[in-house]
Amino acid sequence: MRGQRSVLRTHVEGATVDRMRALVAVAVAAAALLAMALFVAASVPAPAPLAAPAAAPAAIAIPLAAGGSPLPTRAPILVDQLRISLPRLGIDLPMALGDVQRDVRLGATPENVALLFPTTNVPGTGGNSYIYAHARNDMFLQLWNVKLGDRVRITATDGTHFDYAVTRIVARVDPADTSWLDPSGPERLTLQTSTGPTGSYPRFIAVAERVPQPGD
């Protein structure tokens, strides 16, 4: 009887050892699999971040006239190659491009020249050309005596000329009224001079519209 118990105990202990060995083998295999998974995960490069969508190109704003059509495009002509004349009034001056800082803010407008306001159009290219000069002898002083129908001529150094006729006279314009600087609309000259010694005095303005010429 005692011998049977000893044999049984030996069988039980052997089974227990075998079971523990099996559990250890399973644990080792699991650890190996986990290590392999970690190695594989570390070896796979992280996905590259998605590129931000390219920004759409900005639209270029084109200034439009009141009717929706593009404003006149200036021709490649130099303003200082032009002269302005009003034969009946004895006005005949070279032209130059104006400077807002110098002429408006500092009040240092040059003499003996008619100036084109820089945001308006070169004469002969359409739209409005705003031209100003001092109210002095041999400049625009005689503009005070302008009459409807008076002719104005713009002449280039190559002999090209454009003719205009005065269609509107406004003897007193508020200096704060900038509507006369609108470059759009029919082809015309807006001629301006002062009525007093400082910029606070009203402006004198005459408008001359283009006269059709052969070849227009």
Q: Are residues 195 and 89 in the same domain?
A: yes
Residue 66 lies in a domain: no
pLDDT in tens, 188-215: 999 999 999 888 899 999 999 999 877 6
Range of the domain at 36: 1-44
Domain count, the chain: 2
φ/ψ of 150, rounded to 5, equals -60, 140
Whether 74 is in a domain gets the answer no
Please report whether residue 31 resides in a domain: yes
Q: How do residues 62-120 score in pLDDT, each as one tens digit?
A: 233 344 444 444 454 689 999 999 999 999 999 999 999 998 888 899 999 999 999 99
Which of 181, 153, 147 shows the shortest CA–CA distance to 166? 147
CA dist 186 → 62, 65, 180, 189, 209 (Å)? 19, 11, 13, 10, 8
